[in-house]
């Protein structure tokens, strides 16, 4: 929530996020943003992307690699 608050403050529509400590990969809506992330099975070194929810329809597919 803190990150999305800052994105709103600076009127940013998307941002790359590093050091996500969630296992696996997925997509989650949070506030006005959608988080797409990919991590490993331990709690370290994941990455992700936050995008404005209004752009979610423009993304055809998300596949973590």
Write out pLDDT tens, residues 19-40: 888 888 888 998 899 998 888 7
Banded model confidence at residue 8, pLDDT cuts 50, 70, 90: very high
CA distance 29 to 45: 21
| Residues whose CB is less than 8 angstroms from the CB of residue 33 and which lie 6 or more positions away in sequence, other chains included | 4, 7, 50, 51, 52, 53
What's the pLDDT score for residue 26? 87
In a domain, residue 14? The reply is yes
- 28: containing domain: 2-55
What's the pLDDT score for residue 43? 64
Q: Is the pTM of this model over 0.75?
A: yes
In a domain, residue 17? The reply is yes
| Domain count of the fold of the chain | 1
CA distance 56 to 41: 26
pLDDT (average), residues 44-62: 85
With beta carbons less than 8 A apart as the criterion, state whether 3 and 50 touch. yes
In a domain, residue 61? The reply is no
């Amino acid at each position: 929530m803190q990150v999305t608050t800052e994105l709103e403050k600076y009127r940013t529509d998307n941002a790359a996020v590093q050091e996500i400590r969630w296992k696996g990969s997925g997509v989650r809506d949070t506030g006005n943003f959608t988080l797409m992330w990919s991590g490993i099975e331990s709690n370290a070194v994941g990455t992700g992307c936050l995008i404005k929810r209004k752009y979610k329809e423009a993304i055809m597919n998300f596949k973590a690699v």
